[in-house]
Amino acid sequence: MNLNDNMKNSLLVFALIILVSCSVDERKEFPVEGDVFIETTDKTILATSQAHPGKNFAQDWSITNHILHGGKQEGVEIITLDNGKLTIRIIPTRGMGILDVKMGNTRLGWNSPVKEVVHPAHIDLESRGGLGWLEGFNEWMVRCGLEFAGHPGTDQFINNTGDPATLNLTLHGKIQNIPASEYEIAVDPEPPHRIRVRGTVHESFFYGPKLQLVTEVSTIPGSDTFRIKDQLTNNGASAQEFQLIYHGNYGSSILEEGAMVYAPASTVTPMNDIAAKNIDTWQTYLGPTKGFIEQVYLLEPLADENSSTLALLVNKNMDLATSVRWNVTELPYATIWKNTAAIEDGYVTGIEPATGFPFNRMVERKYGRVPKIGAGESRFFHLDFGIHIGNDVVGELINESTNRQSHSPIQIIQAPPLTE
């Protein structure tokens, strides 16, 4: 062996020592924190204000789409509706749910522990005792339904041979994990030229429900408000039970310690014993709290002479709020879900107009809260949302809510309802 060979061997041993020592160090922690990238395809422009030269829009707007790649979100499509002031991200792949809504630094949405926009192909609704729905739960607006919408469990039905049978119900139903069959974009020809993104989702199978949901998200260019309008149709030859919950989820920037929910109601009822212990603070929120156990409150909303009601989430300083308005003839109930857990576990609250409460369907039927839709019949549901900035604007909304409540004192029910 010559000198050069000795030098080569020495360098090789030295390099191995460095490699091993680096490997040992990097097992302890990643030495440098990198930026996280979500891979997407290039955006495709679907529609713009510039493509309508004959219309005088208050603000330039656009609608684009792109496809997500990587992990469990592979193949998920996102539609972004930008009205010049609001940006709304819609997910056709996940039942036309809405990922989030942004206006400046304000965001309707939350930071879920589920970081990906999970493709329904990766969701097993039956997992963890029927809680598999939670594996994809990170949107701002999630629809729960349509055949069933509440807690997991069982229910009875008549099978294809005409015999009684048991049906396993999973958390919050199926509709959020059914991709839209199609979607379309429309612009109203007359001012103020409302922009509409409309999609169709089918929840149907042989010897079962044949329900169709045509859902529309719309807004006016330059507006700080937007609308959800849904049409539910029974395409079957027989009447069909249905349930529908609009599960809106809010985290920071509005939710914080000292934030409040305003929702005029005739009654407020705790859903379980944990909520009952905290019934006196059902309207107020804690900051992120490690080990917090969710609290759920059931409301019968108060409406005006037009059957319209509202709910507000307002920050501590009362200078930032979000509102939702709906008709109680369409959605006669509402649920407030408080989950002020640690940030890492999902700091969020839900404001949820609905056809009923989120109990198992057997319980809801007992209380007469499972409606039926006739053969060939359609039902419509309208919800209007807004983001509001400034003490004066927010104060007017709070006054509207409290004034409505003042005409009919709220009844606080101390004990949860019987479910057996």
Kindly indicate the confidence band of residue 43, based on its pLDDT and cuts at 50, 70 and 90: confident
Q: Nearest-CA neighbor of 242 among 341, 117, 372, 126?
A: 372
Name the one residue in this structure whose structure tokens are 């004990």: 415
Name the one residue in this structure whose structure tokens are 């939702």: 324
Strand partners, 231: 214, 380
pLDDT tens digits, one per residue of 90-130:
999 999 999 999 999 999 999 999 999 999 999 999 999 99
Report pLDDT for 40.
Answer: 64
Are the beta carbons of 153 and 360 closer than 8 angstroms?
yes
32 pLDDT exceeds 60? no
The mean per-residue pLDDT over the stretch 15-43 comes to 47
4 pLDDT exceeds 70? no
The mean per-residue pLDDT over the stretch 78-99 comes to 98
Euclidean distance between CA atoms 246 and 265, whole angstroms: 18
pLDDT tens digits, one per residue of 153-191:
999 988 999 999 999 999 999 999 999 999 999 999 999
Within 123-268, where are the H helices?
Answer: 127-130
Task: Please name each of the domains of the chain with its CATH number.
Answer: 44-412 (2.70.98.10)
Cα radius of gyration rounded to whole Å, the chain: 25
24 pLDDT exceeds 70? no
Q: Nearest-CA neighbor of 94 among 21, 15, 14, 180?
A: 180
Report pLDDT for 38.
Answer: 53
Report pLDDT for 13.
Answer: 42
Are the beta carbons of 40 and 15 closer than 8 angstroms?
no
Residue 67 is inside which H or E element, if any? strand 62-67
Euclidean distance between CA atoms 37 and 28, whole angstroms: 23
Q: Nearest-CA neighbor of 290 among 249, 336, 346?
A: 346
Q: Report which DSSP code applies to 206.
A: T
66 pLDDT exceeds 50? yes
pTM of the predicted model, to two decimals?
0.91
Least confident stretch, 3-12, 222-231, 284-293, 303-312: 3-12
Share of residues in the chain with pLDDT > 90 (%): 88
Report pLDDT for 8.
Answer: 47
The mean per-residue pLDDT over the stretch 250-263 comes to 97
Q: Are strands 77-82 and 87-91 parallel, antiparallel or unpaired?
A: antiparallel
Euclidean distance between CA atoms 290 and 349, whole angstroms: 15
76 pLDDT exceeds 80? yes
Euclidean distance between CA atoms 314 and 398, whole angstroms: 9
Euclidean distance between CA atoms 366 and 357, whole angstroms: 12
Report pLDDT for 420.
Answer: 81
Report pLDDT for 244.
Answer: 98
Kindly indicate the confidence band of residue 5, based on its pLDDT and cuts at 50, 70 and 90: low
The mean per-residue pLDDT over the stretch 218-246 comes to 98
Say which amino acid occupies 319. D
Rounded to the nearest integer, the mean pLDDT of the chain is: 92
Share of residues in the chain with pLDDT > 70 (%): 90
Q: Nearest-CA neighbor of 191 among 87, 62, 54?
A: 54
Q: Give the three-class secondary structure for 215.
A: strand
Are the beta carbons of 203 and 181 closer than 8 angstroms?
no
The mean per-residue pLDDT over the stretch 316-338 comes to 98
CA end-to-end distance (rounded Å), the chain: 87
The mean per-residue pLDDT over the stretch 255-276 comes to 98
405 pLDDT exceeds 50? yes
